[in-house]
Amino acid sequence: MNERLIIFDTTLRDGEQSPGASMTRDEKIRIAKVLEKMRVDVIEAGFPAASPGDFESVKAVASVIRNSIVCGLARAVKGDIDRAAEATKPAAASRIHTFIATSPIHMKEKLRMSPEEVLKQAEWAVKYARRFTDDVEFSPEDAGRSELEFLCRVVETAIAAGATTVNIPDTVGYNVPGQFGALIRQLMERVPNADQAVFSVHCHNDLGLAVANSLEAVMNGARQVECTVNGLGERAGNASLEEIVMAVRTRQDVFPCDTGLETTQIVPASRLVSGITGFPVQPNKAIVGANAFAHESGIHQDGVIKKRETYEIMRAQDVGWSANRMVLGKHSGRNAFKTRLHELGVDFATEEELNSTFVRFKDLADKKHEIFDEDLQALVTEEGLEHGQERFKLVTLQVCSQTGETPRAKVTLSIDGKERSAEADGSGAVDASFKAIEQIVQSGGQLQLFSVSNITSGTDAQGEVTVRLEKGGRICNGLGADTDIVIASAKSYIMAINKLLKENLREHPQNSRAI
Ligand code: KIV
Ligand code: ZN
């Protein structure tokens, strides 16, 4: 039987470090639940020392997740480790992931520490973390640019101090596959106590090589891969979970290990993460892109009809693309609605949640004849994001847009239960609506992104709008879907405002000030 490849998902931590991808506590819980359903082994839920909000999010995830290990990140300092230990305490199984940089440039320019000091700090941090849990992961940050001799000493010391997983990050995405695979092999051969820890890799995608480097590491002995849904992450992102998992699963003839993942949850997870972060998935993205299983050329279509394997190396259903795009409509009942969502991997926590989403489904079905899976997924994403607790709610929106006339919008919002209205002109209907909303709310948020995409095809399709707002360095996304894109835009703008006005400032994990 093949060995197990551990999947460590860091969408909620490194993924959240993508500029503009910050997530609220409830959003993190929703994503964590899908990851658990996907049977991800370890969920890195955040960096608890970064801000009170991050701490609360990690704690909340640790309180609801029962079947995956919940991990908190900590720099190699007491304060961070204490916070990570406290935040992950409610978990059924918890891990502390502590790290310190080991490359010459990071030690000299960022940490201003000598290699000996770094070595001591690493040893101390692992020992200290072990006071709280038996499951401690250590990462020598920027290992991909560290000197091999020194890296071997740090890894040996961390294992001797009690690290059960040693993670080798290519922090700046500088390595190439042959070199990175050789690094893992050399570490495993040279470090005398290497057999006492699981070797893990964490690759960034600056040269587009994160997945290739991770897979090469697996071929050379790594048995944990750190990755993110849709390849989200700092700068160009991390290795994408879906690509790692499906490469290993599809090529069992070459990989000596396999994951325990429920791959049918991949597409629902991708959609949810994309909806929450506002990062769209490119159509030709492997596994989760809209075209990943579409055949355009006649020759290919003919081949697939005759025998699917002529042009398909995986089954779309196996990654969660629905084989049967059963269409619902306004006559569909609550049970059909619930059953279809269950098949799509969405279950409601309470009857109340089911009922309110069903009401919204009926509203949508009044405007749109056929409801596709994509519409249902947009509906639940929006429902989950709103959660009924937002300060600002859209009550009505009226727009007047006419050739030769200045577009004008009248908006009524409910603010903490009280209604307020405003009118504004704009260069278009969306612009006028945003200005009217801003007149009421005065958020001061700067619009950084406005994107519209169609959820399904046809002129009655829902438009999905993402709005990204920035204020004082904080960035928040809003998402709205509606058959009328001006209304979808207003919903999305209001959601971004709701988040912007309640989020906490956080510290970046790689900031070394605490050391
Ligand atoms: O990229 C990196 O080095 C990291 C570490 C904290 C593991 O994210
Ligand atoms: Zn990283």
Could you report the per-residue pLDDT of 455-481, keeping only the tens digit for each?
A: 777 788 888 898 988 888 777 888 888
Indicate whether residue 72 lines ligand 1 (CB < 6 A): no
Ligand number, closest to the Cα atom of 142: 1
Indicate whether residue 137 lines ligand 1 (CB < 6 A): no
Distance in angstroms (rounded) separating the CA atoms of residues 410 and 449? 23
Instruction: For residue 298, give both structure tokens.
Output: 């006649």
Q: Using alpha carbons only, what angle is made at residue 348 by residues 497 and 467, rounded to the nearest 5 degrees?
A: 20
pLDDT score of 290: 84
What's the 30 CA to ligand 1 centre distance in angstroms? 24
pLDDT score of 506: 66
Q: What is the mean pLDDT of the chain?
A: 91
Give 34-90 pLDDT, tens digit per residue: 999 999 999 999 999 999 999 999 999 999 999 999 999 999 999 999 999 999 999
| Strand 446-454, strand 463-471: pairing | antiparallel
Return the higher-pLDDT residue of 26 and 374.
26
* pLDDT > 80? residue 211: yes
What's the 14 CA to ligand 2 centre distance in angstroms? 6
Indicate whether residue 14 lines ligand 1 (CB < 6 A): yes
What's the 226 CA to ligand 1 centre distance in angstroms? 10
pTM score: 0.84
Report, as an integer, the average pLDDT of 101-117: 98
Cβ atoms of 213 and 201 within 8 Å: the answer is yes
* pLDDT > 80? residue 298: no
Per-position DSSP letters for 69-127, written without gaps between them? EEEEEEESSHHHHHHHHHHHTTSSSEEEEEEEE-SHHIIIIII---HHHHHHHHHHHHH
Which phi-psi region, left, alpha or beta, contains residue 190 (left: φ > 0; alpha: ψ -120 to 50)?
A: alpha
Distance in angstroms (rounded) separating the CA atoms of residues 505 and 513? 16
Percent of the chain, pLDDT > 90? 67
Indicate whether residue 97 lines ligand 1 (CB < 6 A): no
Burial label for 442, CB within 10 Å (0-12, 13-18, 19+), is exposed
Give 153-189 pLDDT, tens digit per residue: 999 999 999 999 999 999 999 999 999 999 999 999 9
Query: Which region among 12-21, 125-134, 301-310, 479-488 has the lowest average model confidence (pLDDT)?
Result: 301-310
In terms of Cα–Cα distance, which of 467, 466, 446 is closest to 455? Answer: 466
Q: Residue 262 — very low, low, confident or very high, per pLDDT cuts 50/70/90?
A: very high
Atom of ligand 1 nearest to the CA of 10: 8
pLDDT score of 434: 97
Q: Residue 102 — very low, low, confident or very high, per pLDDT cuts 50/70/90?
A: very high
H helix or E strand, kind and range, residue 185: helix 177-190
Atom of ligand 1 nearest to the CA of 141: 3
Q: Residue 147 — very low, low, confident or very high, per pLDDT cuts 50/70/90?
A: very high
Determine which residue's CA is closest to atom 2 belonging to ligand 1: 171
Distance in angstroms (rounded) separating the CA atoms of residues 101 and 75? 10
* pLDDT > 90? residue 428: yes
Indicate whether residue 99 lines ligand 1 (CB < 6 A): yes
Burial label for 205, CB within 10 Å (0-12, 13-18, 19+), is buried
In terms of Cα–Cα distance, which of 228, 273, 233 is closest to 30? Answer: 273
Note residues around ion ligand 2 (Cβ under 5 angstroms): 14
Q: Residue 398 — very low, low, confident or very high, per pLDDT cuts 50/70/90?
A: very high
Distance in angstroms (rounded) separating the CA atoms of residues 155 and 132? 21
pLDDT score of 504: 53
Q: Residue 372 — very low, low, confident or very high, per pLDDT cuts 50/70/90?
A: confident
* pLDDT > 60? residue 326: no
Report, as an integer, the average pLDDT of 278-284: 87
Q: Residue 388 — very low, low, confident or very high, per pLDDT cuts 50/70/90?
A: low
Contacts of 508 (CB under 8 A, 6+ apart): 17, 50
Q: Residue 515 — very low, low, confident or very high, per pLDDT cuts 50/70/90?
A: low
Return the higher-pLDDT residue of 193 and 465.
193
Report, as an integer, the average pLDDT of 389-405: 91
Determine which residue's CA is closest to atom 5 belonging to ligand 1: 141
3-state secondary structure 461-506: CCEEEEEEEEECCEEEEEEEEECCHHHHHHHHHHHHHHHHCCCCCC
What's the 477 CA to ligand 2 centre distance in angstroms? 22
* pLDDT > 90? residue 340: no
Residue at 314: amino acid letter: M
Cβ atoms of 444 and 470 within 8 Å: the answer is no
Instruction: For residue 385, give both structure tokens.
Output: 């994001």
Query: 402: helix, coil or strand?
Result: coil
Ligand 1 pocket test target in 11, 13, 77, 99 with most atoms within 8 Å of CB: 99
H helix or E strand, kind and range, residue 263: none
* pLDDT > 90? residue 146: yes
pLDDT score of 105: 98
Give 246-255 pLDDT, tens digit per residue: 999 999 999 9
What's the 199 CA to ligand 1 centre distance in angstroms? 15
Q: Residue 295 — very low, low, confident or very high, per pLDDT cuts 50/70/90?
A: low
3-state secondary structure 191-259: CCCHHHCEEEEEEECCCCCHHHHHHHHHHCCCCEEEEEHHHCCCCCCECEHHHHHHHHHHCCCCCCEEC
Give the CA dihedral 13, 465, 345, 390, nearest 10 degrees. 70
| Strand 6-9, strand 257-258: pairing | unpaired
Distance in angstroms (rounded) separating the CA atoms of residues 78 and 500? 31
